[in-house]
A = this chain, B = another copy of it.
Amino acid sequence: MTLLDELTAVLGPAGCLTDGLEGAKSDASGTGRTAPLALLRPATVAEVSAALAICHRHRQPVVPQGGMTGLAGGANPGPGQIALSLSRLSGVEEIDPDVPAMLVCAGTVLETAQKAAEAAGFLLPIDLGARGSAQIGGLIATNAGGLRVIRHGTTRDNLLGVEAVLADGTVLSHLNRSVKDNTGYDLRHLIAGSEGTLAVITRAVLRLRPQGPPPATALVALDGYPQVLALLRLAGARLTVSAFEAMWRDYFALNQQLANVTAFADPPAFAVIVETESGDAALGAFLEEAFEAGLITDALPAQSLADARRFWDIREGHAMDRALPHLLNLDVALPVGRLDAFAAACRARLLARYPDAHLSFFGHIGDGNLHIAVDAGSDAAHEVDRIAYGIVRDMGGSISAEHGIGLLKRDWLDHSRSPAELATMRAIKAALDPAGILNPGKVI
């Protein structure tokens, strides 16, 4: 039997597709050009295991695919590779209200899992814009960040247990449900963030949280970055902060205009959205204290959900894509105190190379995470990366705060990790996937 015959025998014809695979070419980065040889769609953990065992015997490279919402090309097939979609291995299997936690299959769409948690009276504290497509397995494999990190951490911080299948089909299952478990090496955190290169995630136990009160939101104006840092610290001391999103003047001015909103007619050096679970009264007292301490020059507390929505519209910048045809969105992290120095260096060097480029800065700065919006014309991506990641390297930062490495950042990984670290990662890869069939060419 050929490889595909063997796979079809195990997965059935609906589990091994060879036609109509356009959608399996690329993640949301749009950079994938190659259709996979076949798209496997196992419906059970046993089928994932059987399919991988067959591929392993044939030394057939396999690229795991979730909701294809990644931005680093991590799920793009290379030539001659087979794609393995987790979409059919889907559903919330159990909600344990005492822990509280959820046992969920890897192919479950995030929004589906969120709604199941909500129906049981809980919050699943992982959230991001792609919630309608992103799948739990992919979120874990990339350690997705998103909107609630400052309050509840990244995906790995909400992961209690995981089940995954190694390259040879071995099922590694530790569907732990306790916050504490010190029984040997933490394989959970090794698999989380490994972007499908060490194992294929099949199920997970995710922590749930109590449903919080509706957030109180304000947009504030500040004169400089030292004030932003002081405000962040004051917010941490006075409030339960659920978002602290900073926009540099360039980003705020452009997106206020694109969103057709006038929050601050005269765009300040920095605009910050502060969102808290502590309620309107606590937010009001905090704003007053910040104003009296000279940290902020103006503040707009949201009077309604619509108000808050307008602030977020500016921050989310959905119209940028249309306004800037060659928009790149870089995602870096540095110690929060250095973000503005980084932005200044980045602006100077990129404008020296591309005098007409659009450049603007914004970020989840409570997490040390800065995004850089760049439009330097077509075909500038590599050179923009080179310049920006060079500064990240010199300043000791991370070239990927939340998007992962995938394919697109692989060549820059040595800007954030040392030769000793890369060698250690390769040793781990060789130990867990000696034939190198799992997502080859990605990450390392």
A269 at the A/B interface (Cβ < 8 Å)? no
Residue of B nearest to A72 (CB): B182
A320 at the A/B interface (Cβ < 8 Å)? no
Binary per-residue interface labels of chain A (188-228) against chain B in the complex, 1 for a CB within 8 Å, 0 otherwise: 01101110001000000000011100000000000000000
Residue of B nearest to A235 (CB): B210
Given contacts A96-B335, A170-B420, A177-B335, contact A428 B185 (CB under 8 A): yes
Given contacts A337-B98, A368-B177, contact A183 B399 (CB under 8 A): yes
Q: How far is the CA of A404 from the CA of B366 in the complex (A)?
A: 33
Given contacts A98-B336, A233-B97, contact A424 B187 (CB under 8 A): yes
Residues of B within 8 A of A209 (CB): 236
A416 at the A/B interface (Cβ < 8 Å)? yes
A59 at the A/B interface (Cβ < 8 Å)? no
A142 at the A/B interface (Cβ < 8 Å)? yes
Q: How far is the CA of A321 from the CA of B334 in the complex (A)?
A: 48
Residues of B within 8 A of A166 (CB): 420, 424
- Contact present for A333 and B401 (CB under 8 Å): no
Residues of B within 8 A of A416 (CB): 181, 183
A323 at the A/B interface (Cβ < 8 Å)? no
Q: How far is the CA of A153 from the CA of B300 in the complex (A)?
A: 35
Given contacts A233-B98, A432-B427, contact A401 B181 (CB under 8 A): yes
Taken together, the copies of this chain in the complex come to 2
Most chain B beta carbons < 10 A, residue from A96, A186, A405: A186
Residue of B nearest to A98 (CB): B337
- Contact present for A398 and B336 (CB under 8 Å): no
Residues of B within 8 A of A428 (CB): 185, 190, 428, 431-432
Q: Which of A414-444 contact B (CB under 8 A)?
A: 416-418, 420-425, 427-432, 443-444
* Contacts A173-B418, A178-B335, A424-B432 supplied; 15 other A-B pairs, CB < 8 Å: A150-B179, A157-B157, A166-B424, A170-B424, A179-B369, A181-B333, A181-B400, A182-B402, A183-B398, A185-B190, A187-B421, A210-B236, A428-B428, A428-B431, A431-B431
A residues at B contact (CB < 8 Å): 96-101, 142-143, 145, 149-150, 153-154, 156-157, 166, 170-174, 176-187, 189-190, 192-194, 198, 209-211, 229, 232-233, 236-237, 240, 333-337, 364, 366-369, 397-405, 413, 416-418, 420-425, 427-432, 443-444
27 inter-chain pairs at a CB distance below 8 angstroms, sorted by A residue, are A96-B335, A97-B233, A98-B233, A101-B335, A143-B182, A143-B186, A145-B180, A153-B179, A156-B186, A172-B424, A174-B417, A177-B368, A178-B335, A178-B336, A178-B369, A181-B333, A182-B193, A182-B398, A182-B400, A182-B403, A183-B413, A183-B416, A184-B193, A184-B422, A190-B190, A240-B240, A424-B432
